[in-house]
Amino acid sequence: MDEEKQVRVQDDLFQYVNGAWLKSAVIPSDRPTTGGFADLDVGVEKTLMEDFKAMANGSKVTPNAYLSSAVLLYQKALDLSRRNADGIKPVLPRLEAILALKDLAAFNSRLPELAQKGFPLPFHFGVDVDMKDTSHHSLLVFGPNLILPDTPYYQEGNQQGAALLQVYSQMAQALLALTPLSKEEQEATLKDTLAFDRLISTLVKSRVEWADYIANYNPRSFAFVSKAFLPLDFKALVLKIFGKTPAKVIVYDPRFLKGFATLFNEKNFPLYRHWAYLNVLINATPYLSETLRQLGGTYRRTLIGLPEEASIEKQAYRTASDYFDEPLGLYYGQTYFGEEAKKDVVAMVKEIIETYKKRMAKNKFLSAPTRKKAILKLDKIVIKMGYPDKVGELYDTLHFASDASFYDAVSTLDEENRLFRWARLDQQVDRGEWLMPGHMVNACYNPTSNDITFPAAILQAPFYALKQSRSANLGGIGAVIGHEISHAFDNNGAQCDETGNLANWWTKEDFKKFHELTKAMIKEFDGIPFAGGKVNGTLVVSENVADNGGMAVTLEIMKGMGENANYQDYFLNWGRIWCQKAREQYQQLLLSVDVHSPAPLRANMQPRNFAEFYTTFGVKKGDQMYLDPAKRVVIW
């Protein structure tokens, strides 16, 4: 028996498929993982970095004005001579603007300007799709970000949280020492920042609470929200930015709004001012000198276990990609994505949707009215495959001065992006927009528009290849397609109708039965030991429901293939797409904050729920992959 098969498939599918690779795989020093999604991303990045280099040096024609701007931003990032010479100077005007806010009155007088320029505020606001009227945009508010990854890190006795705050504090001290502040002011700034951050942690949602995104929809009258935000002048802010006050505001975090007055008041204003100062400083460091970039990345590298920062060349490409992602994705799709593959995968999506509809029609726990609505929702799913036909209107608004510093260019792009999105208040939603660019190795379901997106970059082996067997493709991209469709019926998506509106289309009894099945899925994963911690079944339930549905519908297609179905190909490729080797710190972080289960568990847990896995590999009681039939969960 060769090395790869020393672990029995009946005991560990993930190790059986990926074990030999795991022993020799080396994680790149500037990345937290390798394998699967990450390796495809590395390949795409390498290809596009070569193209950017060629466009920058003139050996390759830049195809349009959007990418010309992207290349100019890329060149600014590469200009270390200017970045190093400028040092901290580009951010000093912003830091001085924070120090000029001597009291609440000064803060309120400049609040609209601070918001427009992207200064850290004691709350977040924005414009997004209204979940109960998904044809329009509404104003929304929620709390600011925390230093630590999640609220439980702040609990007394949490050693991981304490250790991370120590790293953050050391980094902050070193950065503050490079500012014009006196030693006493530096100490006060750090002390007050930590105090303000801890106050925020007592008010904002945890990651588990955020995972229930339907709970974000809490409409309140504008008058109610304005009063809750006092002494912050929310009304003046909204009038200045939008020229009007909307009738309602969607409050994503009612607990935060209720406690806002205890966070932001005259007494705590010095804490806020120092918190804002340090946030501006740290957020600027990636775009300043190399010394500041390295120093400012210390906390993040510790958090995910990175030995080193990405090279300047990678930073330059990634920044250009972040700000001009849609034009770059369109370029990638048009240049590197085959139309034959696109046609084949679109046909697969349609087949999976039709199979899903047949399964819904035969569903045993739903009543006829609910089944009818579920099938209607499947009928209305919009498929976005590869890349969009054109670039969105946003990118016509993105401009920066050719002689601007790297930091100023990025700040300008941030502001223009912000203003573009704010201008959408009360406007019609463009359902043709894509949530992911063509060069992203990922896929998604959008509950507010009932569409599924599959960027060109994910349509590669092992997920998909024309030369792979149909069974292997079904266990790869097919199961991913089924996964995204299943998000329409996970614990969150199930509460949105065929147009994406938050609506109750279930009978009370049907939803109760569905809820019991999701509780069974929570129980199946909850408490599994991993990376020194335990899986939180509630945090990851929506993704597990989607994995379960993706496997169920593609196995249904396999049944119809008769002798052409190769179940070994199917399950082995399922195990292969979750191939991943990750740094321990990163695994621990994801265990706390990610709504996806760890990759090895995604590979191993769902096959246990399906009889086909048992018959394919002869899995019996006593094998580690065996799960008692009474405990197996199949929802869709």
- Spell out the residues 6+ positions from residue 313 whose beta carbon is closer than 8 angstroms to its own: 49, 53, 78
* 3-class SS of residue 455: strand
- 360 and 376 Cβ atoms separated by less than 8 Å: no
**Alpha-carbon torsion (406, 409, 415, 421), positive or negative:** negative
- Residue 199: C-alpha distances to residues 143, 151, 395 (Å): 11, 11, 38
Beta bridge partners of 455: 386
The 3-state secondary structure of 550-598, one letter per residue: HHHHHHHHHHCCHHHCCHHHHHHHHHHHCCCEECHHHHHHHHHHCCCCC
- Residue 238: C-alpha distances to residues 114, 232, 420 (Å): 13, 12, 15
DSSP E strands: which ranges in 180-218?
A: none
Q: Tell me whether residue 547 is one of the annotated catalytic residues.
A: yes
Residue 578 to residue 601: CA distance in whole angstroms: 9
> Considering 484, 497, 510, 543, which one is annotated as catalytic?
484
> Considering 41, 197, 233, 547, which one is annotated as catalytic?
547
- Spell out the residues 6+ positions from residue 90 whose beta carbon is closer than 8 angstroms to its own: 284, 287, 288, 405, 406, 407, 408
Provide the phi-psi class of 246: left if phi over 0, else alpha when psi is between -120 and 50, else beta.
beta
- 110 and 88 Cβ atoms separated by less than 8 Å: no
Tell me, rounded to whole angstroms, the distance of Cα 483 from its chain centroid. Answer: 16
Which one, of 62, 64, 90, 63, lies nearest residue 76 by Cα?
A: 90
Residue 361 to residue 367: CA distance in whole angstroms: 10
Residue 582 to residue 268: CA distance in whole angstroms: 41
Residue 36 to residue 28: CA distance in whole angstroms: 14
Tell me the backbone φ, ψ of residue 491, rounded to 5 degrees.
-65, -20
- 467 and 478 Cβ atoms separated by less than 8 Å: no
> What is the torsion angle, in degrees rounded to the nearest 10, for the CA atoms of residue 551, residue 552, residue 556 and residue 559?
70
Q: Tell me whether residue 309 is one of the annotated catalytic residues.
A: no
Residue 269 to residue 105: CA distance in whole angstroms: 11
- 12 and 604 Cβ atoms separated by less than 8 Å: yes
Residue 565 to residue 576: CA distance in whole angstroms: 18
- Residue 602: C-alpha distances to residues 522, 539, 543, 560 (Å): 14, 14, 10, 25
Residue 454 to residue 463: CA distance in whole angstroms: 12
* Catalytic sites, residue numbers: 484, 547
